[in-house]
Amino acid sequence: MIEPGAAELPAHRSREEILAHPQFADARNAMLDAMLGLYEHDPFLNRLLLEAGRNVVFTVLMCLHARSEAGDPATWPTLRLLKQEMTGFGLASPRRIVDLVARLIKTGYLEQVAVPRDRRVRILQPTHKMVAQDQDWLVSHYVPLQLLYPDLGYAPIMQRDRAFQQRHRLVAASLFPFAAQLLARNPLMVQFMVREAGMMILIKLLQLAGPGGESTAPISYSDIGARFGVSRTQVRKLLEEAERQGLARLARGREPAVQLTPALVEAFDRFIADTMAGHDLVYNLAQRPA
């Protein structure tokens, strides 16, 4: 287990370095496009995965699977172990975890496999469908790093190398405390992440607002809702709440429009740079010889 602050961590990009890169805005916008390419117009995936608790459950399951050792029952990715590992994130109750696991099984992302010598134990096994979805997610999150640092490159991720994906998730399983800390220091983004499709709505608005993210953009609550599988009322309430907090300005009437304030755009940029720094760290650790 890698402890936060451990001296053996390899050199990696910091949030400040990434934010200061002259092409950061281009990289941020490339990530917006990559995420929308995955999830826009796919309400099913949005409802299944794109809320913070569900997304973290999905990722933790992939990490637990990579860390599992056949001869060590304590590492088997059971529902009990999943609940235990999720407590540090504070994003999903045990009941919600059970419900999401049931949905992942029903929709073909997970299988429950009985242990031959103790058939009471059920191991949660990702299917090929779940592995492929995880690869798509990783690619979308490494797109901005690939743009900023092409000489270094992140080829195993971009090429969906299955063996490297396994090493990457094994490393990430030792960094759950870092992931929880990252969320804790970005509370404004968590506010959007815990809402149904909240983060994807924000990403779409940033794309509509153009390169700087602050231009006024005409919007349709119904259209945005349809893109991400939520109602127009949910979209409107999300933006009205953001307006009350000074994060957005809404123009109402026959032609509604929204402008995201600098405070919200800057918070999003810090969060994206924070996650990019974390992904760079995991990549560098996974690159080290076994």
DSSP string, 152-182: T--HHHHTT-HHHHHHHHHHHHTTHHHHHHH
Give me the residues paired with residue 115 across strands.
Answer: 118
Tokens found for residue 288:
């080290």
Separation of alpha carbons 127 and 137, rounded Å: 15
Please report the pLDDT score of residue 4 as a whole number: 43
Q: Which amino acid is at 65?
A: H
- Sequence-distant (6+) residues with CB within 8 A of 51 are 193, 194, 195, 196, 197, 198
Q: Contact 148/23 with Cβ under 8 angstroms?
A: yes
Over the chain (290 residues), what is each successive 10-residue block's mean pLDDT? 49 92 95 92 79 87 95 93 92 89 94 82 94 96 96 92 97 92 93 90 90 81 91 93 94 84 95 95 88
Q: Which of 24, 18, 31, 22 is nearest to 206 (CA)?
A: 31
- Sequence-distant (6+) residues with CB within 8 A of 290 are 167
**Structural domains of the chain, with CATH:** 15-186 (1.10.10), 189-265 (1.10.10.10)
Please report the pLDDT score of residue 116 as a whole number: 75
Tokens found for residue 201:
């709505």
Q: Contact 186/15 with Cβ under 8 angstroms?
A: no
Please report the pLDDT score of residue 106 as a whole number: 93
Please report the pLDDT score of residue 115 as a whole number: 81
Q: Which amino acid is at 119?
A: R
Residue 250 host element (H or E): strand 248-251
Residue 184 host element (H or E): helix 176-184
Q: Which amino acid is at 41?
A: H
- Sequence-distant (6+) residues with CB within 8 A of 276 are 13, 15, 18, 27, 141, 144, 145
Please report the pLDDT score of residue 7 as a whole number: 45
Separation of alpha carbons 50 and 219, rounded Å: 21
- Sequence-distant (6+) residues with CB within 8 A of 84 are none
pTM assigned to the model: 0.89
